[in-house]
Amino acid sequence: MLETSHPLNQPVSVLKGAGKEAEASLASIGVLTVGDLMEFVPARYEDMRLKSPEEAEHDEKVTIEGVIQTEPSIMYYGKKKSRLTFKFLSGPHLINVNFFNQPYLKKKASVGDTVTVTGKWDRHRLAISGQTMEKGAYARGTDFEAVYLLRNAIPLKQFRKLVKQAIDSFGEYIEETLPVHLIQQYRLMERKEAIRALHFPISHKEMKQARRRFVYEEFFYFQLKMQALRKTIREQSGGIVQKYDLAKLKELIDSLPFELTNAQKKAVNEICADMKSPYRMNRLLQGDVGSGKTAVATLALYASVTAGFQGALMVPTEILAEQHAKSLHEMLEPFGVTTALLTGTVKGKRRKALLAALEAGEIDILIGTHALIQDDVIFHKLGLVITDEQHRFGVNQRRVLRSKGENPDVLFMTATPIPRTLAITVFGEMDVSIINEMPAGRKAIETYWAKEEMLGRVLEFTEKELRKGRQAYVICPLIEESEKLDFQNALDVHSQLTQYFGGRFTVGLMHGRLSGEEKEAVMKAFSANEWNVLVSTTVVEVGVNVPNATVMIIYDAERFGLSQLHQLRGRVGRGSEQSYCMLIADPKSETGKERMTAMTETNDGFVLSEKDLELRGPGDFFGRKQSGLPEFKMADMVHDYRALETAREDAKELINAPDFWTGHEYRHLRKVLNDSGVFDGEKLD
């Protein structure tokens, strides 16, 4: 941050031509000072390089030089409307030139004159619709002109003049903001030169170099704050050292009916190392549907129990809590571990007895819903808190659960494959463990994309599966008819399928308007095979395990994002039988077609999440309001992800270097951290 007395903090009115009107207009787009003007990033560049008609692409803006061959003539029509036309020779090509509503240009154009015309090229008609014309041969100082998003606040020409004046008059005061060793290491442009090249690049190469410098700078500053926050959280947490019994943990691993994948082993090692450290763990465990996160969580909870602590696992729904409680009990009971389930349905004497046993330390691991965070739930010695599908709980709910112990270690789990690019941005203050491989022998779900007219064949196939005793999900995007959106809805589909299957198979219905208890009841009935087919909106997206379901039909699949489609597909394929996912879709857009194709080509959630990020952009990935994503001026998390990862490593290394906190070279960076509020009132030198 610059001091208020700094020359770059002077108001734009110090510039010639920036009167009161211009000053007010610039303020409306956030430009108040000379420095703001210099840092106002161009939205794009116009290619002003001279081109021959052979090189020019149809409909692109081009600059062509030629010799006028015919007398320019003006035709007037309507009120103040005109067209100036002439032909000029560029190389062997005779080109038609048209200028609309610029009759004064006639004085600049005579037969035999050489002129340079910039405008829109029509390759088919060998014509150019001119915007500007210069008399004489091409003589520009720059090949590219910056175009800014000015929202009609001020004319583009005037804005460019003001930027040039600001750089010419005050450019010497631009200070370097990156450490010298990083500029040298990555051969980055110095800031002063980069700002000039950003606005007035003399070549495509220079323009790219300026952009490269600022992309890195934006990511570096963002990651510097994230890594400082991470270090602060870690060091102020005063965590507990959990000296778990490695021999007992290995014994449990050996007893599992399957071998851990390498990704699971790596995640267990990372979690255990955190538990052993004096700092509180703050880790996100990402794993695709069916990748074995629960096994990793179970091992972490058991490690905590062997260290003499209790563990808590909080999940979003009762049915999910019951499933987890059952699997944890089966795995851990032989090792003398006491598990218990606490949900809203545990009441009266049963609840009282359970809470007394928990407080007395007789229960080792408590599994439950948000019932875990009520005031009367008191742990004897809580060591590890695991939150499953952490985005389903509010920040306060997660904080309350953490506060049930003396700085317990915290592990968040999610089955939403968040692209690495976003994970290191959104969860920058956390450590991230990723399970990116599937257990051996797991059958890939076969995915097919069918047009609407093939629905009959899809239902025939589904009936064959139902006759084998299997079950099917049918997903629809809307609850009831909307005049604006002409696509299927759950109520209609439920009635159509009930009719289609007659009395042969039962069809259940679940949608967002049911209460939580009603949804639980429907899911329990489906889990118990009381319904053969379940028609639902996306409320089945997270969690529930119905190994008998082998068919997933998704109506209007083009309405869903790739990650959501993948989550829905993950509801099947949980048993030993082959499972299928049918996407009913007639996408009109190329993006929609790409999504369907991607779904049929891979079962890897991480590959799909990267593709989804590419197609939708980071804001849409989480939903703009709750994304918590920073707004970058130049950097793009999707396309510049390598720079993001590099900046993260550099920031991490710097934050952990002792001389960063004392060295004179880093004073500016420490000031940025102070001003950003990372240290919550505590100031550095």
Q: Which residue has the higher pLDDT, 368 or 679?
A: 368
The rounded distance, in Å, linking the Cα atoms of 502 and 455 is 17
Q: pLDDT band for 615, please (50, 70, 90 cuts).
A: confident
3-state DSSP assignment of residue 288: coil
Q: CA–CA distance from 434 to each of 270, 271, 386 (Å)?
A: 10, 11, 16
State the Cα–Cα distance between residues 187 and 193, nearest whole angstrom.
13
Question: What is the average per-residue pLDDT within 75-101?
Answer: 93
Tokens of 302: 């058991």
pLDDT digits (tens, 9 = 90+) for 94-146: 999 999 999 999 988 899 999 999 999 999 999 999 998 988 887 766 678 89
**Residue 443 to residue 465: CA distance in whole angstroms:** 16
Beta bridge partners of 97: 86, 128
Q: Are strands 549-554 and 533-536 parallel, antiparallel or unpaired?
A: unpaired
Residue 535 · residue 508 · CB < 8 Å:
yes
Burial class of 380 by CB neighbour count within 10 A (0 to 12, 13 to 18, 19+): middle
Encoding tokens for residue 669?
A: 């960076």
Task: Label residue 583 left, alpha or beta by phi (over 0 means left) and psi (-120 to 50 means alpha).
Answer: beta
- DSSP codes, 487-539: S-BHHHHHHHHHHHHTTTS-EEEE-TTS-HHHHHHHHHHHHTTS-SEEEE-GG
| Distance, C-alpha 415 to centroid of its chain | 15
Contacts of 32 (CB under 8 A, 6+ apart): 11, 12, 26
Average pLDDT over residues 335-357: 93
Task: Quote the CA–CA distance of 199 and 235 in Å, as a whole number.
Answer: 43
Q: Which DSSP helix (H) or strand (E) runs through 274?
A: helix 262-276
Which among 554, 495, 545 is positioned nearest to 523, based on CA atoms? 545
Mean pLDDT to the nearest integer, 649-665: 89
Q: Give me the pLDDT at residue 460, please.
A: 96
Tokens of 530: 């009381």
Looking at residue 428, what is its pLDDT?
Answer: 65
**Which residues face 146 on adjacent strands?**
45
pTM over 0.85: no
**What's the distance, Cα to Cα, between the start and end of the chain in Å?**
15
How far is CA 230 from its chain centroid?
Answer: 20
Average pLDDT, the chain: 86
In the chain, the amino acid numbered 430 is: M
Asked whether 625 and 434 are in contact (CB, 8 A), the reply is no
Residue 392 confidence (pLDDT): 52
Specify the DSSP class assigned to residue 33. Answer: B
- Whether the Cβ atoms of residue 33 and residue 12 lie closer than 8 Å to each other: yes
Strand partners, 365: 311, 339
Residue in the structure block whose two tokens are 């990402």: 286
Strand residue runs (E) in 533-625: 533-536, 549-554, 580-584
User: Quick check: 582 pLDDT over 60?
Assistant: yes
In sequence order, what are the beta bridge partners of 75? Answer: 83
How would residue 390 be classed by pLDDT, with cut points 50, 70 and 90?
low
pLDDT of residue 80: 83
- What is the separation of C-alpha 226 from the centre of its chain, rounded to a whole number of angstroms? 17
Say how far apart CA 311 and CA 300 lie, in whole Å: 9
Would the pLDDT of 77 be above 60?
yes
- Among 409-423, 472-486, 631-645, 646-660, the range scoring the smallest mean pLDDT is 472-486
pLDDT at 484 over 50: no
Q: What backbone torsions phi and psi does residue 663 show, to the nearest 5 degrees?
A: -65, 140
Query: What are the backbone dihedrals phi and psi of residue 273, each rounded to the nearest 5 degrees, phi first?
Result: -65, -40
User: What is the pLDDT at residue 298?
Assistant: 96
Calpha distance 125→96 (Å, rounded): 8
What residues does 98 pair with on adjacent strands?
85, 129
In this predicted structure, what is the pLDDT of residue 507? Answer: 95
CA 606/CA 583 separation, integer angstroms: 20
Cα separation, 54 vs 121, in Å, equals: 11
Residue 545 confidence class, pLDDT cut points 50, 70, 90:
confident
Length of the chain: 685
pLDDT of 623: 47
